[in-house]
Amino acid sequence: MTFAEYLIDKKIDEELFQQGEPGRWQEFRALFAQMHPESFTTQKKFLINDIRRRYQLKVAPAPPPAAPKPAVVRPSVKIAQVPAPLSPDVPITEAGAPSPVNETPAAEPKPAARPVIKRPAAVIRKPPEGREG
């Protein structure tokens, strides 16, 4: 990316900027040649905003049209619903379908509460007699 392309990207008119502040334009161009555009933007962000307000690009050139990406066509596949296998404890009716048995899911038992063990109170030791301390 050249400095001219960078200024267009930032919506700054290069000719007005060069005529209005030739010293700063030259300094920016030299710095831009030495570093990455993102680093330059980070370093000069507030100055670039001020310059953009003073030397605003009137008509931004349209970017070249990008080639359209081909649409990805994915076939729609419907997955057949396969009946779940019957468990051996489900009785089957004469028609071959499982009979409706009172099938309420059993609630899982809650884990037993953990016992609370109280810690013993701190033992205060008295110093042996005869010693001061």
| pTM score | 0.43
Amino acid, single-letter form, for residue 32: F
Give the number of other CB atoms < 10 A from CB of residue 32.
19
Query: Within 13 Å and on the Cβ side, how many CA atoms surround 51?
Result: 24
Domain count, the chain: 1
Q: Specify if 61 maps to a domain.
A: no
The string of pLDDT tens digits covering residues 22-81 is 999 899 899 999 999 899 888 888 888 888 889 888 865 566 677 777 777 777 777 777
Q: Specify if 29 maps to a domain.
A: yes
Amino acid, single-letter form, for residue 95: A
Give the number of other CB atoms < 10 A from CB of residue 48.
18
- For residue 130, the Cα-to-chain-centroid distance in whole angstroms is 71
Q: Specify if 94 maps to a domain.
A: no
pLDDT recorded at residue 30: 92
Range of the domain at 12: 3-54
pLDDT recorded at residue 98: 56
Whether pLDDT at 133 is above 60: no
